[in-house]
Amino acid sequence: MLDSGCNIALVVIARNEERCIERCLKSAAPYVDDMLVLDTGSTDRTMEIAQDSGARVATFVWIDDFAAARNAALDAVNARWRVVLDADEWLDDSAAALRDLSREPASFVAQVNIRSVLDPDLNTGQPLQASDWLSRVLPQGVRYSGRIHETPVHSLPVRRLPVTVWHDGYAMAQRAHKRGRNLALLQRAVAEQPEDAYFRYQLAREQEQAGDGDAAVASYLEALRERPRIAPPWRDAAVFNAIDCLGRTRQFEAGIELIQAELPQYAGAVDFWFVLGGFFFELASARPELAPEFMPRIEECYLRCLELGEQPQASGALRGRGSFLAARNLYAFYTATGDAERAETYRQLSIVSGSTP
């Protein structure tokens, strides 16, 4: 049954999310007029917890199609604005800005800053965060498309809101049980829509996380084969991931070709220089005869990262690449080259910059 009408509604699809559904709903409750959880087949206490947290609960028979579930959830609310969250996401106090939407015409799609909490860096123990801007505040009438990694389809203007959404679903403990499902759905999506570069990119990410580097490289390069006049928002991450993966799979010639093609576009991007440093490290390690040529390039890349600094507004930014992660790699570089004084300088910098949020 539809609600009687409101300004802002929270819309969540969930299955077996008793770990985190209460956190999600309680974080949103102060800023929305209605909360709807669409359950796609839970066998745990997800629905009970959702109801106890103040949400309305509806059910949906899962058909291996995330867009279908999202659209069913959107159909179950009657609000001018819909805030779309996953159960493993939550809002902080910045969500107060959502209330300003009550004075806005529902004539645009709004992006929020998704900050994913990752597993700590293995070398420093520093907590890692990835930042991205995604369209999660939708006016009434906008719907989703895509069997997996679904996206809203519209021709409306896009505006960024000063709202942060936190997410812990990329942590290893949470990601493992979704991997097989996501890989199968993406393979099916690519088979159904082989021309869709976005699905190729998402398939590459899943293949890379599953440890199949060669398959991931092939999928990344296929996703990047076309160069549209207006680049899609995921293209930056696809380029950076492809360079990193090409280095780790020792496909150096293809990597250098991609780097040369993309350097003019990404000369000011800290993520580009960070993965470039890793690529040159892999190259110098695999081909010691080329180390005298590429060792200075490794140093140049990480110094460039520190010069550029953090770029949290960039799509897919990883916190630390413009600060403590680059400094840590320079510490390792100068240690390996016997420059103890510089090594200590960057060791200290990695500690100081890593402790700064």
The number of beta carbons lying within 10 Å of the beta carbon of residue 118 is 18
Question: Which helix H or strand E contains 266, and what residues bound it?
Answer: helix 252-266
The phi, psi pair for 231, rounded to 5°, reads -70, 135
At 274 the pLDDT is 98
pLDDT surpassing 60 at residue 5:
no
CATH of the domain at 51: 3.90.550.10
CB atoms within 10 A of CB 266: 18
Same domain membership, residue 272 and residue 155: no
DSSP calls for 134-165: EEEEEETT-EEE-SSS-EEE--S-EEEEEEEE
* Mean pLDDT on 213-227: 96
- Dist CA 28 CA 10 (whole Å): 7
Which run of H or E residues covers position 14? strand 6-14
Tell me whether residue 287 is in a domain: yes
Instruction: State whether 27 and 138 are in the same domain.
Output: yes
pLDDT tens profile 291-327: 999 999 999 999 999 999 999 888 888 999 999 999 9
This prediction has a pTM of: 0.86
Average pLDDT, the chain: 93
Which residue is it, tokens 């110094």? Answer: 303
Last residue of a domain, one of 126, 145, 167: 167
Count up the domains in the chain and report the number: 2
Three-class SS state of 355: coil
Residue 302 belongs to a domain: yes
Q: Tell me, yes or no, whether 352 lies in a domain.
A: yes
Cα separation, 103 vs 105, in Å, equals 7
Q: Do 17 and 132 fall within a single domain?
A: yes
Pick the last residue of a domain from 135, 167, 199: 167
Q: Are residues 20 and 163 in the same domain?
A: yes
Task: Tell which of 119, 148, 167 closes a domain.
Answer: 167
If asked whether residues 301 and 155 sit together in one domain, one would say no
In a domain, 316, yes or no: yes
What span, in angstroms and rounded, lies between the C-alpha atoms of 236 and 271? 9
Task: Give the residue from 330, 328, 329 showing the smallest Cα distance to 342.
Answer: 330
> Percent of the chain, pLDDT > 90?
83
> Percentage of residues in the chain with pLDDT exceeding 70?
94
Nearest to 331 by CA among 344, 313, 315, 316: 344
Alpha-carbon dihedral sign for residues 156, 160, 163, 165: positive
Phi/psi of residue 59, each to 5°? Answer: -120, 155
Is 161 part of any domain? yes
Q: Where is 66: in which H helix or E strand?
A: helix 66-75
Residue 216 in any domain: the answer is no
Give per-residue pLDDT as tens, 279-292: 999 999 999 999 99
Phi, psi of 346 (to 5 degrees): -80, -20
Asked whether residue 238 is domain-assigned, the answer is no
Report yes or no: 54 and 69 within 8 Å, Cβ to Cβ.
no
- In terms of phi and psi (left: phi > 0; alpha: psi -120 to 50; beta: otherwise), the region of 250 is left
Residues 279, 142, single domain; the answer is no
Whether 160 and 277 map to the same domain: the answer is no
Domain residue limits at 294: 267-357
CB 325 within 8 A of CB 309: no
Counted residue by residue, the chain has a size of 357
Q: Are 324 and 350 in contact (CB under 8 A)?
A: yes
Q: What is the rounded distance in angstroms from the CA atom of residue 94 to the CA atom of residue 83? A: 14
150 and 271 share one domain: no
354 part of a folded domain: yes
Looking at the fold, whether 130 and 276 belong to one and the same domain comes out as no
State residue 124's pLDDT score: 63
35 three-class SS: strand
Q: pLDDT band for position 207 (50/70/90)?
A: very high
